[in-house]
Amino acid sequence: MTNVDLDQYAEQGYVVLRNAFSAEDVQGLLAETATICRGERGAVGGLEPASPDLSDEEAMRRYVAINFPHKISKVLRDAMRQPSVVSALTRVIGPNVKAMQSMLYMKSEGKAGQAWHQDEHFIPTRDRSLTGVWIALDDAAVDNGCLWVLPGSHRAGVLYPDREHDDPRFDCAIEAYDFPYSQNDAVPVELDAGSVVVFNGYLLHLSLPNTRPGGFRRALVNHYMSAESLLPWRGPLPEGVHIGKYDHRDIMLVAGHDPYAYKGTPDIVHPYLRKDRDGGCDR
């Protein structure tokens, strides 16, 4: 069983799992990232297949992030079920855990970060069980855009207001504001490749641009929650279904049992590129 400091998780809203993925695992994930970015694993909305003369590095540098890559990659689905990660999840969430999202980041030199936000804003759960797992595929440090957190910002269970912004350091996603913390309270979460940060869906966090010359800050980020809770996520709702009863079911069980298995797991979401400021902002 993974040794998780549950007191730290409860108090600060995050915990680091050192070397959760082996060097061999990481190399396999990086190779799969290149294959996906070349367009060789299947359709990704907005992605152009790479020409044969384009190197893997050049293919990855074309993009910042891909949402839902696990839908076309067994390697990434296996990473979602990695035993040490699942062991940690069952301790911070409970025995029954489902996954609903993956995001693959290729952040190369000069690419933007993401402003302060809470993942629960984007993935609303009914029971506050949303948990992120941020897997470093390169060494992640301050200069190449590692994760920053505001420790303890999850404890109030409050979703802070959000707004659009024009800060060139960040991508087009909204930013949270009017919370009782300052930048001086922020802590960088520097990780060696293969290490993981597990964090609460209410935890305020951001990432800054990659300023390391010639480098990547690649990462795989997966989201999980209790399988015992419904997931009222994504619209439009089916005709006649009220938001309080809607349950997004394009999920993957990673631990325990699914009490709503009778609903099935329809294929709803598909991989697509996440745009940055260079590629135009989605609003």
Which CATH number covers residue 253? Answer: 2.60.120.620
Say what the pLDDT of residue 280 is. Answer: 43
Indicate whether 92 belongs to any domain: yes
Q: Give the pLDDT band of residue 239 (cuts 50, 70, 90).
A: low
Distance CA 39, CA 59 (A): 9
Indicate whether 1 belongs to any domain: no
Distance CA 246, CA 259 (A): 15
Strands 114-117 and 131-136 come out as unpaired
Say what the pLDDT of residue 277 is. Answer: 53
Say what the pLDDT of residue 244 is. Answer: 59
Q: What digits encode the pLDDT tens for the residues 111-161? A: 988 889 999 999 999 899 999 999 999 999 999 999 999 999 999 999 999
Q: Give the pLDDT band of residue 40 (cuts 50, 70, 90).
A: very high
Evaluate the CA torsion angle 126, 159, 3, 137 in order and state its sign. Answer: positive
Indicate whether 182 belongs to any domain: yes
Indicate whether 280 belongs to any domain: no
Look at residue 170 and tell me whether its pLDDT is greater than 90: no
Q: What digits encode the pLDDT tens for the residues 205-229? A: 999 999 999 999 999 999 999 999 9
Indicate whether 151 belongs to any domain: yes
- Determine how many CB atoms are found less than 10 A away from the CB of residue 110: 12
Residue-number span of the structural domain to which 198 is assigned: 6-274
Indicate whether 282 belongs to any domain: no
Q: What is the mean pLDDT of residues 276-280?
A: 53
Per cent of the chain over pLDDT 70 is 92
Distance CA 167, CA 170 (A): 6
Indicate whether 131 belongs to any domain: yes
Token pair recorded at residue 5: 């400091």
Q: Give the pLDDT band of residue 246 (cuts 50, 70, 90).
A: confident
- Determine how many CB atoms are found less than 10 A away from the CB of residue 20: 23
- pTM here is 0.93
Indicate whether 279 belongs to any domain: no
Q: Give the pLDDT band of residue 283 (cuts 50, 70, 90).
A: very low
Q: What is the domain count for the chain?
A: 1
Q: Give the pLDDT band of residue 281 (cuts 50, 70, 90).
A: very low
